[in-house]
Amino acid sequence: MRMRIVVTRRIPEAALAVLREAGEVWLPEADRALEPDELRKAVDGAAAVVSMLHDRIDGPVADAAGPGLRVVANVAVGYDNIDVPALAERNVLVTNTPGVLTDATADLTFSLLLALTRRIGEGDRLLRAREPWSFHLGFMLGSGLQGKTLGIIGLGGIGTAVARRARAFGMNIVYSGRSRSAAETELDARFVSREELLTTADVVSLHCPLTPQTRHLIDAEALGAMKNTAYLINTTRGPVVDEAALADALRRGEIAGAGLDVFEKEPEVEPRLLDLDNVVLTPHLGSATVETRTEMALLAARNVAAVLAGEAPLNPVRG
């Protein structure tokens, strides 16, 4: 009897082909996030689960799958949606998809930064509203990047890729994190405390994982420490930022603007942010290129195939 592989939401056909070689694939009929009770029912008897970042995979879900569950392959770099210790207790491996989305996410990060500092969203809305306008030297002035300081919280793979793009635009780099980066010399980057980064950076870009320690890392106090001319960019995980505090800070002019690709209660967005011109919002598009999403799904499928074949996974998550 072939092993059951549950895929919680549709993925590219190339990845499904890999999975079908490894076992019997189950897909939900509707292409939407499964409700918790639907997820527990779907995984019954599964040897492998291919999960998305909106799926909460914990002990009860693993128990619903039964003792035959061997691997959960998360189609994401982050795995805050998975209770890794609970699965480890049940001898279930967890894998993720690092590396393949680095450049796509870095591109999106810099797109948000440019859209924000050059007021691209505002200009687009102005024209679409058919408002009268004319060119003059004070019209819709933005902010240049040359000589400005980019502060990166979390100089890992994506943070490093963002820093490389920033250097090409003539920006200076400071960063903070749990340890110093091997890319420090290449980037001519300076390692500083988070407190110094917040008070000196012209742009703060977040690239740290979501953990209990980083939840609401950017809160009212952190926002208050930033320059009133500074911008905040978040392409990591929504709950790293206290969205209510951010809305307050933007309304009070404590910072100049924000670019967000992820949200605290995704897919919901803090309503007050939607009314602000100095905010650029995108619906979790960091990895959203055909090439990147296909490679993410393929990597997850290859992790599943390896485990079900009795081999070591390509990208194990260490709990």
Q: pLDDT tens digits for 67-98?
A: 999 999 999 999 999 999 999 999 999 999 99
Residue 60 pLDDT class (50, 70, 90 cuts): very high
Rounded to the nearest 10 degrees, what angle do helices 102-117 and 120-128 cross at? 70
Three-state DSSP class for 260?
strand
- Examine the domain organization and report whether 85 and 138 are in the same domain: no
Looking at residue 11, its pLDDT comes to 97
Looking at residue 59, its pLDDT comes to 97
Looking at residue 37, its pLDDT comes to 97
- Examine the domain organization and report whether 24 and 152 are in the same domain: no
Looking at residue 104, its pLDDT comes to 98
- Examine the domain organization and report whether 91 and 155 are in the same domain: no
In this prediction, residues 1-16 reach a mean pLDDT of 96
Looking at residue 318, its pLDDT comes to 84
Distance CA 69, CA 48 (A): 6
In this prediction, residues 150-179 reach a mean pLDDT of 97
- Examine the domain organization and report whether 126 and 143 are in the same domain: yes
- Examine the domain organization and report whether 96 and 106 are in the same domain: no
pTM above 0.75, yes or no: yes
The residues carrying an active-site annotation are 237, 266, 284
Percent of the chain with pLDDT over 90: 98
Buried b (16+ CB within 10 A) or exposed e, 68-100: ebbbbbbbbbbbbbbbbebbeeeebbbbbbbeb
- Examine the domain organization and report whether 149 and 89 are in the same domain: no
Residue 1 pLDDT class (50, 70, 90 cuts): confident
Q: Is residue 167 part of a domain?
A: yes
- Whether 127 shows a pLDDT value over 90: the answer reads yes
Looking at residue 288, its pLDDT comes to 97
- The answer to whether the peptide bond before residue 212 is cis (omega within 30 degrees of 0) is no
- Examine the domain organization and report whether 24 and 161 are in the same domain: no
- Whether 319 shows a pLDDT value over 80: the answer reads no
- Examine the domain organization and report whether 142 and 209 are in the same domain: yes
- Whether 296 shows a pLDDT value over 80: the answer reads yes
The CATH number of residue 212's host domain is 3.40.50.720
- Examine the domain organization and report whether 63 and 122 are in the same domain: no
- Whether 105 shows a pLDDT value over 90: the answer reads yes
- Examine the domain organization and report whether 249 and 159 are in the same domain: yes
- Examine the domain organization and report whether 298 and 277 are in the same domain: no
**Average pLDDT of every residue of the chain:** 97
Residue 134 pLDDT class (50, 70, 90 cuts): very high
Three-state DSSP class for 207?
coil
- Examine the domain organization and report whether 162 and 230 are in the same domain: yes
In this prediction, residues 255-265 reach a mean pLDDT of 97
Domain assignment of residue 46, given as a range: 4-100+290-308
Looking at residue 190, its pLDDT comes to 98
Q: Is residue 313 part of a domain?
A: no
The number of folded domains in the chain is 2
Return the residue matching tokens 């603007």. Answer: 257
